[in-house]
Structure 1
Amino acid sequence: MFSLNRVAARIQMASMVAKIAALIMIIVIGLYFMIFKGYTQHFSKDYAFKGSDWSPAQIVLALYQGNWAYGGYTILNYGMEDIQIKNFKRTVPLAVIFGLFMSAGVYVLANVAYFAVLTPQEILNSSAVATTFAQETVGSFSYAMPALIAVLMLGSSNAEVFAWSRYIQAGARRGMMPTMLSLIHPDNDSPRPAVFFHTVLSMAFCLIGDIYTLVNYLTVTALLSTMFSVGALAYIKWKKIPVSTTAVKFHIIWPILNFLINAALIVIPVIVEPVKSAVGFGLFILGIVSYFVFIRPTKRMRFLMKLDALTTFVCQQFFWAVVEAAPTYKKENAEECSGTVSHSTEENKAGRSPAESVASSVTSTTLSRRQVNPAEVQELSVEKL
């Protein structure tokens, strides 16, 4: 379930092929109408931007919606541990650069095609622009467009679940979330509890109401999270803190520039939409408070530790999974993340994350992430719970 090699990558490849084919078809049809039928009147300055609001606040809010709609470029960052290629440092930057430029080029041309056929008001009023475009250009073939859009949505959902389940699992592995969310399947490394948790949470969010309001709420939270993340990255580079030897490294100017851009994007909405911005800030502050109450203390509440161990064991049985320990890096020599699931009993107990402590409580077997005998998983015990 959402193993990169067995499921997620194949679904994503099929979806990508369908998406690129659909976009190329839209681009070709749009160019045909522009070149051979003279559909260029929508591009005149007085027509294309008539009634536009050029205030900085509205531009930033539009960037919020665009950042959410075209934010798929971040997916690669969450699946780094699942990528198994020889020249990692060279391939990943090339994939990032090529993917960004290809996506930008294709979507710009697709929007040009849309505006060649549809008026700005038709685009604003349409709930599915591609379907409206097909109805105006290819007639009866437009009935196939909803099915094609469904395939594309499947790919988008697959990418989101893949990325955020890894994000949740990585946090749980370092003790930031319940240990049960750090569990992985021993055969294909898929974080099944994290996938299930994210899916249920996403379905709950869908019931909240207006999607645009929800995007504005969560975008503020996401920007704050990004600011702290890139700020931490700049601090790591400044202090020369050891990281994995396979880490892809960039100049310190890039995280600083990213931090400043995100900070600028937050300022205006706080003034224009203080209530929605306050909700976003409140969610972020709630996360900080939760960290200092439940995660930061060295001595945690006993009943929470027992509950954590119990839920971890139940999820191990239900999802047929094992606890994966967090990678560690020595100050003297930054070691490559080996991905080993350590379940040792007493050694280094003082420096363990909750995930590792629960692992030693549940089982004393040492399991390799890549070489796990499923029969060994049956030896899990709750005698120490």
Structure 2
Amino acid sequence: MKRLIAAGALAAVPLVPGLPLPSPGEHRLPPNESLASHARSHPAPTPRARRICNRYAAPWGSNRGRGTASSPFRTPKRLVHALRSGKTGCLRAGTYRQREVKLKRDGITLRSSPGERATIRGRVVLEGNHDGLYHLTLDGSAGPRCPEQSCGTLPSPTINGSDARVFGNDITSPRSGICVATKAWDGHVPNRFRIVGNRVHDCGRLPPTEHDHGIYIADARGGLIRDNVVFDNADRGIQLFPNARSTVVEHNTVDGNGSGIVFSLESSSNVVRHNVFSNSVVRWNAESFQLTGLGNRFVGNCVRAGNPDSAYDVDGGVALPRIVKIARDRAASDGVYVDRSASDYRIAWGSACAGEGAPASVARPTGR
């Protein structure tokens, strides 16, 4: 693939007299090279992509293009702006550096082009209803910073609209801030979200601050967190705070975070079942904070205490109050995973946690 010209190296771009300089972040083709001929030097989209994708962006594209396979846009921001409701925008393989990308229109999907993998370095926000993110690598560390001193970068991806779908992504924000977050915005509560089949890891500043989490459900009703691997995040793996209601958290593997999961304040009627919680390094695998919400359940999970601080290395690392119903949990005393050091979170043969946690397709090191 041809090396792209960085925005700070405009002197190296072949310029045509009378034409404006390229805008920051946009690749300008040499004057004797058309977008179509440049696209021919790269693999064509797969047949499946041609069935699914309505518009495209590519690292070799231009925001003056048409968004087609032969004339792709350059940036995710331009791509989502061009999508109508019900349409899908596909990113060709490569890394896209954009401080913030907002999906504002209802019912649009941003994804990697099928058969390829695209990375967005920056913040992604789902503001519309029924918006989706599929099969992307998302690194929020290059996004805008939170205006408050207590937090790092703003969460990414942030879910503000209802019925959002975040499926099959690799999500991180190393040494920076919160990763996945649902938050009421402009009077709208992001209900019925679906966060499924993702690997969420290395989110947050170190040393731990108690503010940076893997998945943070602040305000939402009727959401689903399923089949994810949530590991090595600075603070909570999953936080239900302050008003998460009727969230189902099931078949996730949550390992090596500051804490595993926390129920807090008014969060109520949440069901946490058939997960694996293990090896939290700061506090408990499961705990609560000033919880007043009723109807929360922690049932059928497998837990393994592995905190280096012996004060938290008891009872499977579970310290939940009686207000939370606890039932049918199993404790594992030995190794749970095939190769935790290699981020292979498939459940080892013979483990007490067999049948719980994320499926092997997501738990293996390359799973997304």
For normalisation by structure 2, the TM-score amounts to 0.27
In terms of fraction of residues, the more helix-rich structure is 1
In terms of fraction of residues, the more strand-rich structure is 2
1 or 2 for the larger relative contact order (CA 8 Å, sep ≥6)? Answer: 1
For normalisation by structure 1, the TM-score amounts to 0.26
| Bigger Rg, structure 1 or 2 | 1
